[in-house]
Amino acid sequence: MARRERTGLHQSVTLADRTYHLALRSGLEIVTDTAPAAALVAENTVLRDGERVLVAPCGDGLLGMWATDRAGSAGVSCFDTNALAVETTQRNLQAAGLADVPVRTAVPEVEAVPYDTFVMPLPKGRDLARLWLLNGALATRMGGQIVIAGANRAGIQSVARDAEALLGPGRLLGYRKGNRALSFQRQELAVEELDAFRAPGLRNGTFARYTFCHGGHALTVCTRPGVFSRDALDEGTQMLLQELDVHPDDRVLDVGCGAGVIGLVAALYADPASVTLSDIDSLATECARETLRQNGINGPSVLLGDGLSAVEGQRFTLIVTNPPFHQGHTVNTGMTEGWIRQAYRALLPGGRLVLVANRFLPYASWLQTGFDRVSILAEDSRFQVFSAQRTQR
């Protein structure tokens, strides 16, 4: 049974006979308490010394540390697309004396030597779980074991049905406190016969696509599960783009770029080489690069990183964003206010921050506190588009 002790952003979790110490980064979204599901994996999964083990997505690194204890560091690999998760896992492994375990910011690819065991903690969202399940299974050897675990309220039962469709019948390893872990065996994958798994964007190297029109241009957006506005352009971004005024000499930053829609539009009006897109998730930056490529736009920089830290030391005349406004179901006021202060420092004098936000959030007061001049460019019953200017040097 797992026992979790929490002190601020530091946690101690006991799995079976070993206690693991975790340091979490502010801003890392954990869908639910992962310890009960991790305990079910640890208590019911056999790993042999020296076998190749894939842990993906690795999240806070808890199961990566457990797998390394059981199989040794030579064969364990951790993957996540979230840059904060990767950094957190690296730090926790290093603190445990396991710094030689590779942690990669990516979705697993098929390698020359496949994995013997694939352990998949449940990610957020069924389509995203399908993406991890499919690509992790492809990276696992025939006959290898695939273990999935998570909470009922996070969707583990639906993902278990998807795993059974892909891999055949599985085995329930354990159930406790609304969490369950299941084991499957890698077999031939009849992906083309399964609508849920042949959808574009699930398998590495593929993308879903949709189009939208802006300023007389028909533009293509390339997306994958887990990327914001995956299926269509969202209403907030549409409103923002209607009000966005990009000057030819602007130096533009699209922060939290998702599939790259805002950066793409900015590159139609400013010098593409003066446009930068950044996101914390490598799925998003991958999609943003493909969106730019599909529209024949060369020159923008696409960077992976946590908010404005990805462009530390650079300054812009225009920062544009449709910012994430919650962690799970909770509005993170402190992070938002801190981000606004960072945005002010990243602007040149005379520079503008243009953002769209849900109108129930107090962005007006946050911006007025952090900026010299603030105006509302557009609003309706759901959204507001703000322009906040830095006038002082």
The enclosing domain of 84 has a CATH number of: 3.40.50.150
| Of 163, 128, 127, 125, nearest in space to 145 by CA | 163
Q: Are 284 and 182 found together in one domain?
A: no
Residues 145/173, Cβ–Cβ less than 8 Å = no
Q: Are 102 and 154 found together in one domain?
A: yes
Question: Would residue 178 count as lying in a domain?
Answer: yes
Q: 245: which residues sit within 8 A by CB, 6+ positions away?
A: none
Core vs surface per residue 195-218: b (16+ CB within 10 A) or e: eebebebbbbeebbeeebebeeee
Q: Are 103 and 159 found together in one domain?
A: yes
SS (H, E, C) the chain: CCEEEEECCEEEEEECCEEEEEECCCCCCCCCCCHHHHHHHHHHCCCCCCCCEEECCCCCCHHHHHHHHHHCCCCEEEEECEHHHHHHHHHHHHHCCCCCCCEEECCCCCCCCCEEEEEEECCCCHHHHHHHHHHHHHCEEEEEEEEEEEEHHHCHHHHHHHHHHHHCCCEEEEEECCEEEEEEECCCCCHHHCHHHHCCCCCCCCCEEEEEEECCEEEEEEECCCCCCCCCCCHHHHHHHHHCCCCCCCCEEEECCCCCHHHHHHHHHCCHHHEEEEECEHHHHHHHHHHHHHCCCCCCEEEECCHHHHHCCCCEEEEEECCCCCECCECCHHHHHHHHHHHHHHEEEEEEEEEEEECCCCHHHHHHHHCCEEEEEEECCCEEEEEEECCCC
Q: Are 105 and 212 found together in one domain?
A: no
| Of 76, 79, 41, nearest in space to 57 by CA | 79
Q: Are 178 and 292 found together in one domain?
A: no
Question: Would residue 290 count as lying in a domain?
Answer: yes
Q: Are 315 and 219 found together in one domain?
A: yes
Residues 124/31, Cβ–Cβ less than 8 Å = yes
Question: Would residue 43 count as lying in a domain?
Answer: yes
Partners of 4 in the β-ladder: 13
Question: Would residue 203 count as lying in a domain?
Answer: no
Question: Would residue 139 count as lying in a domain?
Answer: yes
Distance of alpha carbon 171 from the chain centroid: 29
Question: Would residue 190 count as lying in a domain?
Answer: yes
Question: Would residue 107 count as lying in a domain?
Answer: yes
At what angle are helices 333-346 and 363-370 packed, to 10 degrees?
40
Q: Sort residue 296 into left (φ over 0), alpha (ψ -120 to 50) or beta.
A: left
Predicted confidence at residue 7, as pLDDT, reads: 47
Question: Is the pTM of the predicted complex or chain greater than 0.85?
Answer: yes
Q: Which of 198, 231, 258 is the last residue of a domain?
A: 198
Range of the structural domain that residue 268 is part of = 208-389
Partners of 128 in the β-ladder: none
Q: Which of 154, 178, 198 is the last residue of a domain?
A: 198
Question: Would residue 224 count as lying in a domain?
Answer: yes
For the stretch 317-376, pLDDT in tens is 999 999 875 444 345 667 778 889 999 999 999 999 999 999 888 899 999 999 999 999
Q: Are 119 and 12 found together in one domain?
A: yes
Q: Are 86 and 228 found together in one domain?
A: no
**Structure tokens, 90:** 């690296």
Predicted confidence at residue 184, as pLDDT, reads: 98
Greatest extent of the chain over all pairs of C-alpha atoms, in Å:
65
Predicted confidence at residue 329, as pLDDT, reads: 38
Q: Are 130 and 251 found together in one domain?
A: no
Distance of alpha carbon 187 from the chain centroid: 29
Q: Are 194 and 225 found together in one domain?
A: no
Q: How far apart are CA 79 and CA 68, in angstroms?
A: 14
Q: Are 103 and 26 found together in one domain?
A: yes
Domain count, the chain: 2
For the stretch 40-61, pLDDT in tens is 999 999 999 999 999 999 999 9
Predicted confidence at residue 392, as pLDDT, reads: 85
Q: Are 24 and 50 found together in one domain?
A: yes
**Structure tokens, 249:** 């000499």
Please list the ranges in the chain whose pLDDT falls under 70.
1-8, 26-32, 325-333
Q: Which of 164, 198, 232 is the last residue of a domain?
A: 198
